[in-house]
A and B are shown apart, each in its own frame.
Chain A
Amino acid sequence: MIKEIDLYARQKRLAWFLIAPSVLVVLIIIAYPTIQVFVYSFMKYKLDGVTPPSFVGLDNYSFVLTDPDWWSAVINTLIFTFVSVILESVLGLAIAMVANSKFKGRTILRVAILVPWAIPTVVSSKVWQWMVNDIYGVINIVLADLHIIPQKIAWLATPATALPVIIAVDVWKATPFMALLLLAGLQLIPKDLYEAGSIDGANKVRQFWAITLPLVTPTLLVALVFRTLDALRVFDIFYVMVGGKGGLETMAVYNQQQLVSFLDAGVGSATSVIILIVIMLFVILYTRFSRTSFE
């Protein structure tokens, strides 16, 4: 009896010993910086290497929350997130179903759809920026030659046209990711369900609504969470295509401007904390929603 307890304690000690390096790494690279950001968010702290930091309470938060630029950034981010994630899910599912059906050249198609996802965002954003150039861009030239638009459009000049263009580029880029995840989900659906369905006289459309969609939903939800959280943090597409344009900032671009352009670690950290809270809200919403849908 006593021996057994000893053994248990020894094993427990060994366990702690074995996980200690991981715990240490997590503490150093996640806990420490996160706590640091919280601390800085209550301080006036300029990174100019001259002014010493000082405690200012909630000043940084009240500055961000009363800044109209911040709220316009929030609205832009939300519009971008909702529209792009919905389009990516619908198109992703369609592409996944095509890729899942049997036909010649399926492997090539599966590889080909991944190309936009494989190109670094900065590169593809720059390429798209040239393609939508107002005078020399290929998109304007094609559309004008086909008389679809009466004259060439400066797509990135105003938010009214720039935001749709940016969303389109993101959809082009991130749809393959959705398609890939959903393809994995589709492959898990047993084929005999479809056989049973067709014996019972269900046509393809009915099979989609009654078999495919319910069974792919768990995968779809996971993919949605990934894409939504990604989209809420969007930075590179906006920064490269319309960098610094007023009225076309996202939460992350606003944060970068405060921290990197203005070297204001106080306001920058407060912005980071607020973004963290916004993203947490979405996580809570999703977990609530996915729980009710499974019960």
Chain B
Amino acid sequence: MNNYQLPSYGRILPRCILAAVAAVFMPAALHAGATIHFAGPAGGAELDFTKKVAEEWAQKTGNTVQMISRPNDTTQALQQFQQYWSARSGDVDVYQVDVIWQGICAPHAVDLKKYYKDDELSQYFPRIIENDTVKGKLVSIPWFVDAGILYYRTDLLKKYGYTGPPKTWEELAEMAKKIQDGERKDGKSDFYGFVFQGKSSETVTCDAIEWVVSFGGGTIIEPDKKISINNPNAIKALETAKSWVGTIAPSGVVTYDEEPSRNVWQSGNAAFMRNWPYAYALGQDPKSPISGKFDVTVLPKGGADGKNAACLGGWQLMVSAYSKNADVAADLVKFLSSPEIQKRRAIELSQLPTRPSLYTDSDILAKNGWFKNMTEVLPNAVARPSTVTGADYNQISTAFFQNVNQVLSGTESAQDAVKNVEKVGKRLMH
């Protein structure tokens, strides 16, 4: 009765398979370019800028860039990346990596030497290329460099009769106290003399190594593997910093990393701030209350015979050894660290280029005149002991930042703190 025929499986099955195969392979055939997954900046103006320039590269090359989000906190970001790496995951092709991670990154990175000629590499700061080279392998390429600098309010210094920024930490404390007392008398009850980063994380490692080096107390573990932190100068440095908390700096400074300290500073509630260069462009924004009212300089010396110390920071670009598109990824890395992009980065984000030649560029200097002072700071910037400790850096830094934070919080003496760090150092370096 029913005359219509059911289609036989013999005829329909091959078609299904064909359709399925086509569905899997067609998109690849249609999009000639690769998709590069980039774990770049965590957010803010840096992420917007990176997205913009990465899109330009994508347009030019016919590839796609997909940004991968990461935690803002350096230590937490590293933890996330390490999970990708120990799983040998190819889900991320390009990582933005910290200057201190090179020993940890090395086994998981593509050697970038094959993508660069020697004369191309010599255009970067030799100091940073050296830092990024682990056992002959170029783990990553410098993207921008950071160094701790002192921000100071020119209007307030003038108001309280100072002609220039402080030369030593003692002077800074004195000036900060006078300005803070004066401003509070004028009704600004939330005004503080000095803000910095005291949070128990990598951020206070940077601040504290500057204090310790400025007092001549060494760099925790010296390049020759000697554990140097337990010395009177280091103790003096930590005690000096402790004396600021609750007097010229808010007690809460021990919970601040970069952004909370910048919030206090940029709302006009601090006379001095220690921070990275990124805060300059944000502070000079026309909408900022302190626009045009501040300047930057080198961090003070620890006493008259101390020295100016700036912690070397900065971010590099690394291509994952597990990437399926390493050549394309390396092309993106080359593009992002090219002189043109670094120049735009310097102008738009006030971040320091990794190419010395850009420090004499007239366009950059017109926007950021203070860059020319940085050529004195950068060659002497203090590296954290990440090269000598390699993959164990996180452990020594954790011991250091936890103990320093406890000194600042008043729950541990500086003597005990340096002893504890020394103990961890000895266990790691045995």
User: Residues of A at under 8 Å CB distance from B?
Assistant: 46-50, 133-136, 153-154, 156-159, 242-247, 257, 260-263
Could you count the A-B residue pairs with CB atoms below 8 Å apart for me: how many are there? 84
Q: Is the CB of B82 within 8 A of A134?
A: no
Q: Is the CB of B86 within 8 A of A262?
A: no
Q: Is the CB of B82 within 8 A of A135?
A: no
Cα–Cα distance between A261 and B269 once the two chains are bound (Å): 35
Q: List 14 A-B contacts (CB under 8 A).
A: A135-B190, A135-B250, A154-B250, A154-B253, A154-B255, A156-B252, A156-B255, A158-B410, A243-B200, A244-B200, A244-B398, A247-B411, A261-B79, A262-B394
Inside 8 A of A50's CB, which chain B residues have their CB? 107, 391
Cα–Cα distance between A266 and B73 once the two chains are bound (Å): 26
**Residue of B254, B264, B403 touching A135 (CB-CB under 8 A):** B264
Cα–Cα distance between A261 and B82 once the two chains are bound (Å): 9
| Known A133-B252, A154-B254, A156-B255: A244·B86 in contact at CB below 8 Å | no
User: Residues of B at under 8 Å CB distance from A?
Assistant: 73, 75, 79, 82-83, 85-86, 88, 104, 107-108, 190, 200-201, 250-255, 263-264, 269, 391, 394-395, 398, 401-403, 405-406, 409-412
**Residue of A48, A247, A257 touching B406 (CB-CB under 8 A):** A247
Cα–Cα distance between A50 and B73 once the two chains are bound (Å): 25
Closest Cβ of chain A: how far from B92's Cβ, in Å? Answer: 15
Inside 8 A of A245's CB, which chain B residues have their CB? 200, 402, 405, 409
Q: Is the CB of A158 within 8 A of B402?
A: no
Cα–Cα distance between A242 and B201 once the two chains are bound (Å): 10
Chain B: CB-nearest residue to A153:
B251
Inside 8 A of A243's CB, which chain B residues have their CB? 73, 200-201
Other contacts beyond A135-B264, A244-B200, A262-B398: 15, CB < 8 A: A47-B86, A49-B107, A135-B250, A136-B263, A153-B251, A154-B251, A154-B252, A154-B254, A157-B251, A157-B255, A242-B200, A242-B255, A243-B200, A247-B409, A262-B394
Closest Cβ of chain B: how far from A59's Cβ, in Å? Answer: 12
| Known A261-B75, A262-B395, A263-B82: A246·B107 in contact at CB below 8 Å | no
Inside 8 A of B263's CB, which chain A residues have their CB? 136
Inside 8 A of A157's CB, which chain B residues have their CB? 251-252, 254-255, 409
Inside 8 A of A133's CB, which chain B residues have their CB? 252
Chain A: CB-nearest residue to B321:
A49
**Residue of B79, B253, B254, B391 touching A48 (CB-CB under 8 A):** B391
Pairs of residues from A and B, 9 with the lowest C-beta to C-beta distance, nearest first: A134-B252, A246-B402, A154-B252, A154-B251, A245-B200, A157-B254, A47-B86, A246-B406, A244-B200
| Known A47-B82, A49-B85, A245-B402: A158·B411 in contact at CB below 8 Å | yes
Closest Cβ of chain A: how far from B396's Cβ, in Å? Answer: 11
Inside 8 A of B411's CB, which chain A residues have their CB? 158-159, 247
Inside 8 A of A263's CB, which chain B residues have their CB? 82, 86
Chain B: CB-nearest residue to A260:
B79
Closest Cβ of chain B: how far from A161's Cβ, in Å? Answer: 10
Chain B: CB-nearest residue to A244:
B200
Closest Cβ of chain A: how far from B321's Cβ, in Å? Answer: 10
Chain A: CB-nearest residue to B246:
A154
Cα–Cα distance between A257 and B399 once the two chains are bound (Å): 11
Chain B: CB-nearest residue to A160:
B411
Cα–Cα distance between A242 and B256 once the two chains are bound (Å): 11
Cα–Cα distance between A67 and B402 once the two chains are bound (Å): 14
Cα–Cα distance between A244 and B73 once the two chains are bound (Å): 11
Inside 8 A of B269's CB, which chain A residues have their CB? 135
Cα–Cα distance between A284 and B271 once the two chains are bound (Å): 58
Cα–Cα distance between A260 and B79 once the two chains are bound (Å): 6
Cα–Cα distance between A247 and B395 once the two chains are bound (Å): 16
Inside 8 A of B79's CB, which chain A residues have their CB? 260-261
Chain B: CB-nearest residue to A51:
B391
Q: Is the CB of A246 within 8 A of B201?
A: no
Chain A: CB-nearest residue to B406:
A246
Q: Is the CB of A48 within 8 A of B86?
A: yes
Chain B: CB-nearest residue to A156:
B255
Closest Cβ of chain B: how far from A230's Cβ, in Å? Answer: 24
Q: Is the CB of B405 within 8 A of A49?
A: no
Cα–Cα distance between A135 and B269 once the two chains are bound (Å): 10
Chain A: CB-nearest residue to B103:
A48
Cα–Cα distance between A140 and B340 once the two chains are bound (Å): 48
Closest Cβ of chain B: how far from A176's Cβ, in Å? Answer: 28
Inside 8 A of A247's CB, which chain B residues have their CB? 406, 409, 411-412
Q: Is the CB of B201 within 8 A of A244?
A: yes
Inside 8 A of A136's CB, which chain B residues have their CB? 263
Q: Is the CB of A48 within 8 A of B104?
A: yes
Closest Cβ of chain A: how far from B180's Cβ, in Å? Answer: 13
Closest Cβ of chain B: how far from A255's Cβ, in Å? Answer: 14
Inside 8 A of B410's CB, which chain A residues have their CB? 158
Cα–Cα distance between A157 and B200 once the two chains are bound (Å): 10
Cα–Cα distance between A247 and B406 once the two chains are bound (Å): 8
Closest Cβ of chain A: how far from B313's Cβ, in Å? Answer: 19
Chain A: CB-nearest residue to B87:
A49
